[in-house]
Chains A and B, each alone.
Chain A
């Protein structure tokens, strides 16, 4: 029987390059970095190159890094945060001029067709009062229009719409949707190629700012919020339907606190793998077009899926496992929606060639068993490859039994020998 919620998968996997990409340690790790990014099925890479007050050497360094990104096969998204002071017209003019020059230099080096295929993102959490210096939507819109025109002019008129977008809203702000709606409604559609939004599960230390102090409650509650990726993708999707504008989650991870002692364990351990796996399933469910894990690499802090030396975390392994097996264009369905089990979520992917896999995410900290025959779509697999689930942080493959047993947060791929 065909699953009734079958759909085409159109999520492109991506990652952010962290703030330390100029660090020598990151540069030294570049070859390994390229391999890791390729291995994770990465289609999109978001980078903040920085355009203010840089010497020619900076461009050379930047170009070298972009060469490396090109070798991964991923499409870059160039992120330009809004200038400050945002209400000084000279500063805004200088900003849009520098963005335009960046595009020009890129075209000189890599050619117009290549550069026109890149994504150009204007604004980074412009709605966040913590970082925006009082920027209003009207101010952002003016910056966007000036800069998008400058970029579009340099890109020429590529086939289709220019891949320029924003505003990469901070998803913790209560009226984040206002910025998305106004961006789409108040900027000419011809100047928007994508709409982007950021979403983390929490920013609070356990016990602070009304967050639960009990570690178990905090973790379970944090995992319960991955449904927000579905509801936000869906809310933005309604706004974009029929407009030819992509719906991108430009930053995601479990916890955005900048103190590693607080947030590392949520982002970089088996918990992070389960959170990210669950978020990916909800983004697929919500019909998002792309996602960018914060951060994929070059991050020394508590977010990186790869450490400075390129070593993988369970979150990276989960990304790799899912991205390589649930592919763009696959048919996907969500078998547990009709017959749910607490703490589990799943997506089944198949293609016209008969390849079929299932990804299961377990969001519980204790042992749990799943009788797979309860769901016809989860039957007929012979192998399981898992990350976490009490079986270590590296992928481990076993023969699949009738019952899937997991002993903690984890991601499991059900497949047959020839698939997965």
Chain B
């Protein structure tokens, strides 16, 4: 961050001032403070839920997600072609069971209803529907388990296309009705602890997106809020569309430059919730949300998408947020997902796996790159049990670049195993045969240097 003299520290959940004085050295030494890694990795399972829950390759998909250390999976109810909770409870049950089979915690989003938002009977009806789902879950999986699940009210209410045109006052009424119903259902198991209910899942393109978070926190009884959920994509326009840059290369570089937004937005939310025991979650993210799958796939499901995603993950780790959920896990030709219905990964899947494997929950982490180098590189160094050490690194520029490992983590220079995911690697990480003292990447790419190579890394 711009104006500080305490570099390299994993920031607390506030607008952070640490960093270095302008013009100071760019790469941090190995002595910068370390902080605990507390980010829960996650995914969304939405439009292609059937493949994830019931498809012939579901067990392979679950295994793939376990390799990502996925701890939280966001599901939809009442939108995104999700199974009808009343008419098709077995399908919804299968979906939730699939999450549990992965070993993750379900995050259920009660996305919207299509009755008049101002009608108290419609609000009551919706709240009852939500409560019945929670109650059914408690019956099926036991209240002691279900009390730890996440329940999210509405999806992108600040976007008329997605959220249905609800205003904040209407949303507040719906939120309170639904949250009170859920809290009542779970009360027998909560021991007076607040339920993990949250919102507003704001869409990040809207100019006043942060207002919805502030109003939720300031106008709703805080005992009904367990987390704040926000979404961010860098872009929705194709090159040349709606005043976007016409040159595809400019477009890619511009999107990449906005990976810092993840950290800035996380810090803005953190400022709002400081002093409150609430979780800060990015419930949807990816590079591009164009309305045509073929366009967004170019950005999300390529090496570019892997690089952007890796940059986003480092920003999440630096900002100290509690969970991230990439949009999406399983994907049948929607242009977002990291796994197709046959469980074949995209480059972003591999980038996420490198991160999850080498930067683990509970590790100590630090961020060695500062100053002007932040435009081209970002990295996190992690320290685990038994002297395990890794650098997870991303190159944000589409031109050749070199970094000395001695400047990032001296103990790994010349001795660490180097894994690269770049244009040479054909979409999959490659373990290089030699121990390197530096990292060279020809363009966008992701790399890991580690003293602990797992057998899976060689696959």
Q: Which residues of A contact B (CB under 8 A)?
A: 4-8, 10, 136-138, 172-175, 177-178, 181-182, 185-186, 210-212, 217, 220-221, 224-225, 227-228, 230-231, 233-235, 237-239, 241-243, 282, 284-287, 332, 334, 337-338, 340, 342
Are B12 and A5 closer than 8 Å at their CB atoms? no
Known contacts A10-B3, A175-B244; 9 further A-B pairs (Cβ under 8 A) = A137-B243, A174-B206, A212-B168, A212-B215, A231-B15, A231-B265, A235-B261, A239-B257, A287-B1
Residues in B neighbouring A285, C-beta threshold 8 A: 2-3, 15, 17
Q: Report how far A233 CA is from B3 CA in the complex, Å.
A: 10
Interchain CB contact (< 8 A) of A340 among B168, B275, B374: B275
Residues in B neighbouring A239, C-beta threshold 8 A: 257, 375
Counting from the closest, the 8 A-B pairs by CB-CB distance are A287-B2, A242-B372, A287-B3, A237-B2, A7-B3, A5-B17, A241-B372, A231-B264
Interchain CB contact (< 8 A) of B374 among A136, A174, A238, A282: A238
- Tell me whether B5 is interfacial, beta carbon within 8 Å: yes
Q: For A176, give the chain B residue with the smallest CB separation.
A: B207
A-B contact pairs, 24 of them (CB 8 A): A8-B3, A10-B3, A10-B22, A137-B243, A173-B207, A178-B254, A212-B215, A221-B214, A225-B210, A227-B268, A230-B15, A231-B265, A235-B261, A235-B264, A238-B2, A242-B23, A242-B26, A242-B372, A243-B372, A282-B15, A286-B1, A287-B1, A337-B16, A340-B14
Q: Report how far A220 CA is from B219 CA in the complex, Å.
A: 11
- Tell me whether B223 is interfacial, beta carbon within 8 Å: no
Q: In chain B, residues 316-375, which have Cβ atoms closer than 8 Å to a Cβ of chain A?
A: 371-372, 374-375
CB distance from A176 to the nearest CB of B (A): 10
Q: Report how far A281 CA is from B206 CA in the complex, Å.
A: 26
Q: Report how far A143 CA is from B260 CA in the complex, Å.
A: 30
* With contact pairs A175-B243, A221-B214 given, residues A4 and B264 touching in the complex (Cβ less than 8 Å): no
* With contact pairs A182-B250, A233-B2 given, residues A337 and B267 touching in the complex (Cβ less than 8 Å): no
Interchain CB contact (< 8 A) of B254 among A182, A221, A227: A182
Q: Report how far A253 CA is from B367 CA in the complex, Å.
A: 35
Are B243 and A136 closer than 8 Å at their CB atoms? yes
CB distance from B352 to the nearest CB of A (A): 24
Residues in B neighbouring A231, C-beta threshold 8 A: 15, 264-265, 267-268
Q: Report how far A186 CA is from B260 CA in the complex, Å.
A: 20
Residues in A neighbouring B15, C-beta threshold 8 A: 227, 230-231, 282, 285, 337
- Tell me whether B406 is interfacial, beta carbon within 8 Å: no
* With contact pairs A235-B261, A239-B257, A286-B2 given, residues A182 and B275 touching in the complex (Cβ less than 8 Å): no
Residues in B neighbouring A172, C-beta threshold 8 A: 207
- Tell me whether B6 is interfacial, beta carbon within 8 Å: yes
CB distance from A65 to the nearest CB of B (A): 34
Are A217 and B215 closer than 8 Å at their CB atoms? yes
Q: Which residues of B contact A (CB under 8 A)?
A: 1-6, 12, 14-18, 21-23, 26, 167-168, 205-208, 210-211, 214-215, 218-219, 243-246, 250, 253-254, 257-258, 260-261, 264-265, 267-268, 271-272, 274-275, 371-372, 374-375
Q: Report how far A142 CA is from B303 CA in the complex, Å.
A: 33
CB distance from B167 to the nearest CB of A (A): 6
Residues in A neighbouring B268, C-beta threshold 8 A: 227-228, 231
Are A7 and B250 closer than 8 Å at their CB atoms? no
Q: Report how far A62 CA is from B425 CA in the complex, Å.
A: 63
* With contact pairs A217-B215, A235-B261, A285-B15 given, residues A178 and B245 touching in the complex (Cβ less than 8 Å): yes
CB distance from B370 to the nearest CB of A (A): 9
Q: Report how far A220 CA is from B211 CA in the complex, Å.
A: 10
Are A220 and B260 closer than 8 Å at their CB atoms? no
Are B5 and A6 closer than 8 Å at their CB atoms? yes
Q: For B23, give the chain A residue with the smallest CB separation.
A: A242
Residues in A neighbouring B271, C-beta threshold 8 A: 227
Residues in A neighbouring B16, C-beta threshold 8 A: 337
Are A241 and B371 closer than 8 Å at their CB atoms? yes
Q: For B374, give the chain A residue with the smallest CB separation.
A: A238
Are B214 and A286 closer than 8 Å at their CB atoms? no
Residues in B neighbouring A10, C-beta threshold 8 A: 3, 22
Are B261 and A286 closer than 8 Å at their CB atoms? no
Residues in B neighbouring A237, C-beta threshold 8 A: 2
Residue from B1, B18, B219, B253 having most chain A Cβ neighbours under 10 A: B1
Q: For B246, give the chain A residue with the smallest CB separation.
A: A138
Q: Report how far A102 CA is from B1 CA in the complex, Å.
A: 39
Residues in A neighbouring B22, C-beta threshold 8 A: 10, 241, 287
* With contact pairs A136-B243, A231-B264, A239-B257 given, residues A334 and B17 touching in the complex (Cβ less than 8 Å): yes
CB distance from A3 to the nearest CB of B (A): 9
CB distance from A229 to the nearest CB of B (A): 10
Residues in A neighbouring B375, C-beta threshold 8 A: 238-239, 241
Interchain CB contact (< 8 A) of A210 among B208, B218, B275: B208
Residues in A neighbouring B215, C-beta threshold 8 A: 212, 217, 221
Q: For A232, give the chain B residue with the smallest CB separation.
A: B264
CB distance from B420 to the nearest CB of A (A): 25
Q: Report how far A324 CA is from B245 CA in the complex, Å.
A: 43
CB distance from A208 to the nearest CB of B (A): 12
Q: Report how far A182 CA is from B18 CA in the complex, Å.
A: 27
Q: For A202, give the chain B residue with the smallest CB separation.
A: B208
CB distance from A347 to the nearest CB of B (A): 10
Are A174 and B250 closer than 8 Å at their CB atoms? no
Are A217 and B219 closer than 8 Å at their CB atoms? yes
CB distance from A180 to the nearest CB of B (A): 10
Residues in B neighbouring A7, C-beta threshold 8 A: 3-5, 17, 21
CB distance from A374 to the nearest CB of B (A): 13
Q: Report how far A221 CA is from B215 CA in the complex, Å.
A: 8
CB distance from A197 to the nearest CB of B (A): 14
Residues in B neighbouring A178, C-beta threshold 8 A: 244-245, 254
Are B264 and A337 closer than 8 Å at their CB atoms? no
Q: Report how far A211 CA is from B207 CA in the complex, Å.
A: 12
Are A238 and B260 closer than 8 Å at their CB atoms? yes
CB distance from A372 to the nearest CB of B (A): 18
CB distance from B20 to the nearest CB of A (A): 9
Q: Report how far A4 CA is from B4 CA in the complex, Å.
A: 8
Residues in B neighbouring A233, C-beta threshold 8 A: 2
CB distance from B346 to the nearest CB of A (A): 26
Q: For B370, give the chain A residue with the smallest CB separation.
A: A241
Q: Report how far A7 CA is from B23 CA in the complex, Å.
A: 13
Q: Report how far A115 CA is from B254 CA in the complex, Å.
A: 35
* With contact pairs A217-B215, A231-B267, A340-B14 given, residues A181 and B6 touching in the complex (Cβ less than 8 Å): no
Q: Report how far A181 CA is from B21 CA in the complex, Å.
A: 22
Q: Report how far A275 CA is from B450 CA in the complex, Å.
A: 48
Are B2 and A5 closer than 8 Å at their CB atoms? no
Are B264 and A234 closer than 8 Å at their CB atoms? yes
